[in-house]
Amino acid sequence: MTSGLKILLTTYSTAYSTSGGGEVEIIRTAEMLRGAGALVDIYGPASRPLIFYDFIIHFSVEASGAPLFFAAKEAGKKIFIYPNVWWFEAPSPVEIERVKALVLAADKVIFKSRAELQNFSRYISLPHDRIVVSRLPISPSFSQEIDAQLAMAYTDKLGYVLCIGLLEPIKNQLELIRALNSLSMDGVFIGGTRDEAYARQCKLEAHHGIKFLPFISPSSSLLRSIIGGAAVLVEPSFDPPGRSVLEGAILKRPVVIGASEWQEEYFSKHCWIVSPDSSADIAKGVMAALNDSDRSIKIKKAYECFLSNNLDHLVGSVLINSILGCDDQ
């Protein structure tokens, strides 16, 4: 039974100053766990005192979140933590020790892929019994019918190249814009700005057929319509792609992403792989996703893969069972 579980989701203090994929992840996790029968709050003015909750799930190992994390620990609460880090180079010894203090104080450490776990484990070892690998959940709303006219109100026409995410160098939108310029293809970019100078450069170089839309509510009818109206969804980021590429696969859109261990784990061979640092290679990948002879087969296999692994009730059961198992220890 899960109806008795009372869970508080927490994160670091400035997380929502710029809302991106990580912040959406907190909201999605709350929805998923509520759907599994738990009482779930997100920390803030409307949440209840710490003493009320059985479990805390903390997102991120950012330093400013540590006081809240350890306050929950001192209150005797069981704590799960999502590190949500992807290190491209070795962190400093000071950073390793700071992060290690957080994760080793947690009862369970949750990773969204084995690739993420492997990246983390290069620098910090964890006891095997504290590790949980839980895939990213996809909202049941993505199985609902799409209203194509919603997208038309914002994009003018369908069949564009779509990219979702905050405008920032690590997401690499500028190379995609250069690829679209070379192809004279329309594009739609959804998301706010984390790096103002980078965003200005993206908009400066974009041709007139490329549109920039602000943050759109996750899982909303509008977002589903815009994803459904795309000819191809591209995320040439240097870090692992976000939930949006999985949502694209569920909506049977071809997906183009950069090569990584994450891509191998989630997509296998059911997508198109590009070198993020080459606009020419990104352009080649976009054209392949539109024209390859095995296009429909890849789209179908990706859809079937995520349908059997990433729906809310499947991912939610992993977390709920982990929580229940932790409670029994």
Q: Are 85 and 120 in contact (CB under 8 A)?
A: yes
Closest CA to 176 of 205, 141, 144, 200: 205
Provide the residue-wise pLDDT of the chain in tens; the chain has 329 residues: 455 789 999 998 876 666 555 667 888 888 888 888 889 999 999 999 999 999 999 999 999 999 999 999 999 999 999 999 999 999 999 999 999 999 999 999 999 899 999 999 999 999 999 999 988 777 878 888 899 899 999 998 999 999 999 999 999 999 999 999 999 999 999 988 889 999 999 999 999 999 999 888 888 999 999 999 999 999 999 988 778 898 999 999 999 998 888 888 888 889 999 999 999 999 999 999 999 999 999 999 988 887 766 565 556 666 777 776 775 55
Domains and CATH numbers, the chain: 6-137+311-328 (3.40.50.2000), 140-307 (3.40.50.2000)
Q: Are 242 and 256 in contact (CB under 8 A)?
A: no
Secondary structure element (H or E) that encloses residue 133, with its range: strand 131-133
Spatial strand order in the sheet of 108-111: 39-42, 6-10, 55-59, 78-82, 108-111, 131-133
The Cα–Cα gap between 246 and 171 comes to: 16
Tokens of 327: 């409670």
Secondary structure element (H or E) that encloses residue 7, with its range: strand 6-10
Q: What is the pTM of this model?
A: 0.88
Q: Are 103 and 124 in contact (CB under 8 A)?
A: yes
End-to-end CA distance of the chain: 17
Condensed to tens digits (0 to 9), the pLDDT of residues 226-248 reads: 999 999 999 999 988 778 898 99
The Cα–Cα gap between 319 and 177 comes to: 38
pLDDT attached to residue 1: 42
The SS3 call for residue 207 is coil
CA dist 306 to 136, 261, 301, Å? 10, 17, 9
Which residue type does 61 have? V
pLDDT attached to residue 305: 80
pLDDT attached to residue 35: 81
